[in-house]
Amino acid sequence: MSLPIVACVLLLTVLASSQFVNGCYTSIFAFGDSIIDTGNYISLISKGLLQYDEIPNCSTPPYGETFFHHPTGRCSDGRLIIDFIAEHYGLPLLPPYSGGGNANPGGGVNFAVIGAPALTDDVLQADWSYSRDNISMMSQINMFKSLLPSICKTSSCDEIFDKSLIIFGSFGSNDYAPTMLSKRVEDAYRLQPLIVNAIGSAIEELIKLGVVNIMVPGMLPVGCLAGFNNETGVIACCGSGGPYNAEGDTKCGYPSSHACNDPSSYIEWDGAHLTQAANRWIARGLLSGLYTSPNITASCSTSTSAMWI
């Protein structure tokens, strides 16, 4: 189960490694969408800072049932890829920035938000019915900038960044979503260079800020997901209807939905996101170095390198 998922998901990873000793990363800062959001979306909703729509808010049972035993805002039955990465480096699970994660940024902060696009509303040309600029990729970078005085309060930013891992993404799925629903491939082709250029510019912005260890995962193979009526036999664990258990009006978390008995035997959790079991396999593939070149553990050495997969 693990090898095809890792090969499809992690299309591109870049790591610019600095020179440091005394172990590996001491903090992680994350940006992205629902693949790595650990609670920002539901926190923003509860504060009235974000409008709820048909995006799964991942705040109702059975989300979180496998590991946390209650919903945490993670779009899975348990831990996400970023949780396994944090555990691997002996760090606490990343707190969401909007949930008070900015109070103690020592071990890192998660800025990712469910539904976050790479592009701003004006570039997307109002493909969505409401503004997403306040959770977009650049908005998350601006949150990071606002937190820098707190991060670098007791040590220089260079010293902090030398031992920090920046996980940037994935981004793009939410920009393409309207085109996948309308099945207008020409719209997807129109967006592709815009998204790639935007992500590239954002990475350059982070480098200018002084970050040195940047991982950039590729998008999930969203066309293969059950929620987009794929024809692969990949069935969602949580739902209540349709050939792939991911009908639009009976999504996971709705009163009529239910979860499978053993999520660990499934790849897909709710038709748009993966199970904890799949997230674990992807994280293992990354951390083993099998799907990174050079090996991700090289970032803990004293050599400067670039990592692609």
Annotated catalytic sites, by residue? 34, 270, 273
Measured CA to CA, the distance from residue 76 to residue 269 in angstroms comes to: 6
Residue 87 phi/psi, 5° resolution? -60, -40
- From residue 96, how far is each of 36, 170, 187, 226, 284 by CA, in Å? 10, 16, 33, 28, 23
Any long-range contacts for 176-180 (C-beta under 8 Å, 24+ apart)? 176/222, 177/222, 178/127, 178/128, 180/222, 180/223, 180/228
- From residue 220, how far is each of 153, 171, 187, 195, 268 by CA, in Å? 37, 10, 19, 15, 12
Given a contact cutoff of 8 angstroms between Cβ atoms, the answer to whether 37 and 91 are in contact is: no
- From residue 43, how far is each of 57, 92, 96, 99 by CA, in Å? 10, 19, 8, 6
